[in-house]
Structure 1
C-alpha cells in the first residue's frame, strides 16, 4: 500500500446549461436528499455511483461519513438516469466515487446538471483496460475444441462468430453509445478490485473532514480479505485442467476474471459490454455452435439481466443454465440478504457456481472470509 498515486481530482465548474438543469432538479427534489447508506449525518458527504464502488466506499468509511449510492442493486449502470433527488445529493456532495473506465456514460451530464464541484475519485485510475475490440476468449477456443476432439466444428463456429461480431460492430457504430476507452468491468478480478479499493482509499484520505485513521484501518483489514479471496479462487480453479475451464455468460462482463484465472471465454449471450444490447439471430446460432464445439456444459445468466435468452440458448445447445438464485452477479451487486449483497459475497457466489459447473466442490473458505 505504498507509493500509490492519489486518485483525487477536481472537476471543472458546471456549465451554464448545467446550472439551469440543477435549478430544476432542486425544485423537483424539494428540501431533502436521498437517505445515505449505513452512516450518520456527520462528516463529509460522499456519493458513489455503482453498487461495487458504493460497497467499497462504505467498507472504508464505516460509520464515520454518510455515503449515498446512486445505483440500486440490480440496476444497470449503462442506461442509468439519475433522479432529481440524486442530482440534489450530488450537488451537495464533498466527494464523488466512480468506477471509471467509461462505465458511467451519463456521468458528465449528471455532474453538469447538479453543479457538483467536489473531489472526483476514479477507482479505475492506473488500471489498464482491455480494449473494446479485444475478444480474449477467441484465442483459446481452438485449444479447448482440440481437447474435446472438435477442431473442425470450432473452426466453423469461429467463422460464424467472426461474421456475427462484424455485423454487431457495424450496427454498434449507430447505437450512439460510447463505451469509453475499454471494458470497464474491472472489479471481476479481485487483484484489480484491490487497486480500485486503494484508489478510493487514497482519494477519500484527501477529502477534508474524512477520518483518515478509520479509512487506513479499514483499508488494511479489507485488503487482507481481497487477498484471501484471490488465493481461494486460484487454489480451486487450479484443480481444473486449463482446457476444461470454459465459461459462457449473459454478457461480456467477465473478461478480467477470465484473464486472472486462465479461463476460456467461450462467448456471451449478449456479445457486448453493454447489458442493454441484444444479440442477433446469427450471433445466437454462432454461440450455440461454439458451446457444442468446445464442450462447455453451462450457460450463466446474470442477476441483473433477463434470463430468457440464456435459457433459450442453453436449451438449444443441450447444456445447463444457471439462472434465478444461481445467476452470476455481473454489472450489479444483489439486494440486501442475497449472496451478492456485498462485493465479497458476490465474488464468492460467482466462483462457487462456476467451479460447480466444472464438477468441483470448492474448499472451505479461509478464516478471513468466514462470518
Structure 2
C-alpha cells in the first residue's frame, strides 16, 4: 500500500457478527434485487454490495459464478433480500460482505437461508470512524496494531473472521470504508484471503489477480493524492448528499463542511433546521458546489444549492457513493467510480486533473 499520513483512530467497540443467532428474516414485502451472475459452473459466490461484487469478480475472473445481491444504484441501507436471493445465499460456497455494519440484514438473511459456506468479511482489521469524525490532526501518523494495544484498543487479530462465521459488526461506525482506495486495497486483500480457502478455487489465480488489481488501486490512490495536492488544504471543501465520504475526506485532507442528510443512512431525512444550518455553513465557508449521489434523490441537494447560490452536481454528474453505476456509465466499476468522483470534485475546485496512470487507462 502507498504511504499515507492518515491517522488511525481508536477502534470503536467491535462486536461479533454472530451470524445465525438472529431471528429469521421476514420475507413479506421483500424488494426485488439487482442480482447479477457471471462466470462458469462449479463454485458459487454471493456478494452483497456493488463494490464487493466488483472486487470479487476482479479476483475470481471466470473461475466462479458470482451473484451480486444489490444492483447498480441500489443502496445497502434498508435492503431486503428476495426469496430468490435467499436461495442463492443458501446454495453459495462463499458469501462476501462489506461488513462494518453496512448490511444490517445479513444476520437474518443467513439465518433464513441456512447458509453454511465461507463468510468473507471485507472489513476485517479496518478501524472505523464515527459520525462527522473529520478532524485533521495528523501529528501522530499511522499507529501500529501494537500501539493500539498499548492504548487499550482491540486488534484485528482478536476479531478476525473464521469458519464459524464470526466477523465484524462495528456497531455505530461509518461503514463506507471503500471510499478510501487504500482501505479498498485492504478489503480486496481480505476477500482474496477468504476466497483462497474456498474449495474449487485456484489460490494461485486468486493471488495473481489480487496483485494485478491492488497495483491499480495503489496507482489510483497516488493519482488522487497528486491531484488533490494542487489545491490548498483550506480550499478542499466538500458537501455531499449524506455522510458517505468520511474515509475519502480523511485520506486526502479535505474539509467536510456537511451533508444534506446528516447521517450514514441515506434513508434519513434532514429537518428544516438542519437544511438552514447547512446553507449557512456553505455561505460562510465559501463552498462552491453541493454534490448529489447516484443512489439518492437529488431534490434536497438541488434545493440547498439553490438557496446557497452554488452549483449542484446531480444526474450524470452525481457522485457514486453507496453504489456503483450501471454498465456503460462512468461508475460501472470501482475504479471508474473513483475516477469519476475525483474529476468532478476537482472541477468544482477549478482544477483540471492530470492524465491517468497507464495501468488505469482503458
TM-score (norm 2): 0.82
Matched, 1:228 2:252: no
Find 1:135's aligned residue among 108, 133, 140.
133
C-alpha distance in 1 between matches for 2:19 and 2:123: 23
How is 1:112-261 mapped onto 2 (pairs within 5 angstroms)?
112-132=111-131, 134-136=132-134, 180-261=171-252
Equivalent in the alignment of 2:100: 101
Distance of aligned partners of 1:102 and 1:242 in 2 relative to their CA distance in 1, 3 Å threshold: same
Alpha-carbon contact 2:22-2:108 (below 8 Å) kept:
no
* Alignment partners' CA distance in 1, 2:23 and 2:100: 26
Q: Structure 1: how far apart are the matches of 2:247 and 2:183? A: 8
Structure with higher Rg: it is: 1
Q: CA deviation at 1:181?
A: 3.4
SS, match of residue 361 in structure 1: coil
- How many angstroms does 1:210 deviate by? 1.1
SS in 2 for 1:37: strand
Paired position in structure 1 for 2:334: 343
Q: What does the per-residue CA deviation read over 1:213-233, in whole Å, with 9 as the maximum and x for residues that have no partner?
A: 211111010011001000000
Contact 2:21 2:107 in 1 (8 A): no
- 1:54-87 CA distances to partner (integer Å, 9 max, x unpaired)? 0000000000000000001111101100000000
Paired position in structure 1 for 2:47: 48
CA distance in 1, matches of 2:327, 2:255: 32
CA distance in structure 1 between the aligned counterparts of 2:228 and 2:35, rounded to whole angstroms: 40
Unaligned runs of 5+ in 2: 2-15, 138-168
Unaligned runs of 5+ residues in structure 1 are 2-9, 140-177
- Aligned to 2:38, the other structure's residue is in SS state coil
The number of residue pairs the alignment matches comes to 315
State the partner residue of 1:285: 276
Partner of 1:66: 65
Counterpart CA distance in 2 for 1:126 and 1:86 is: 28
Runs of 4+ in 1 over 3 A off after TM superposition: 10-18, 33-36
1:60 is paired with a residue whose SS is: helix
Q: Is the 8 A contact 1:36 1:66 kept in 2?
A: no
| Residue matched to 1:91 | 90
Cα gap change, 1:16/1:355 in structure 2, threshold over 3 Å: closer, same or farther? closer
Please report how far the alpha carbon of residue 243 of structure 1 lies from its aligned counterpart in structure 2 after TM superposition: 0.4
Question: What CA distance in whole angstroms lies between the structure 2 residues aligned with 1:297 and 1:16?
Answer: 46
1:88 aligned counterpart, secondary structure: helix
Residue from 254, 260, 266 that aligns with 1:263: 254
Q: Distance in 2 between the 1:182 and 1:15 partners?
A: 22
The question of whether the paired residues in 2 share the 8 Å contact of 1:138 and 1:265 is answered with: no
Between the aligned partners of 1:61 and 1:75, the Cα distance in structure 2 is 23
Cα offsets for 1:117-169 (capped at 9, x unmatched): 1111000000000024x432699xxxxxxxxxxxxxxxxxxxxxxxxxxxxxx
Q: Of the candidates 290, 303, 311, which is equivalent to residue 294 of structure 2? A: 303
Q: State the SS of the aligned residue for 2:81.
A: coil
CA distance in 1, matches of 2:273, 2:19: 47
What is aligned with 2:77? 78
Q: Is the 8 A contact 2:35 2:68 kept in 1?
A: no
1:286-305 superposed Cα distances (whole Å, 9 cap, x missing partner): 00000000000000000010
CA distances 1:177-209 after superposition (whole Å, capped 9, x unpaired): x98230000000000000000000000001111
Name the counterpart of 1:173: none
| Residue matched to 2:5 | none
> Aligned partners of 1:66, 1:220: CA distance in 2, in Å?
21
SS of equivalent residue, structure 2 residue 225: helix
Q: CA deviation at 1:40?
A: 1.2
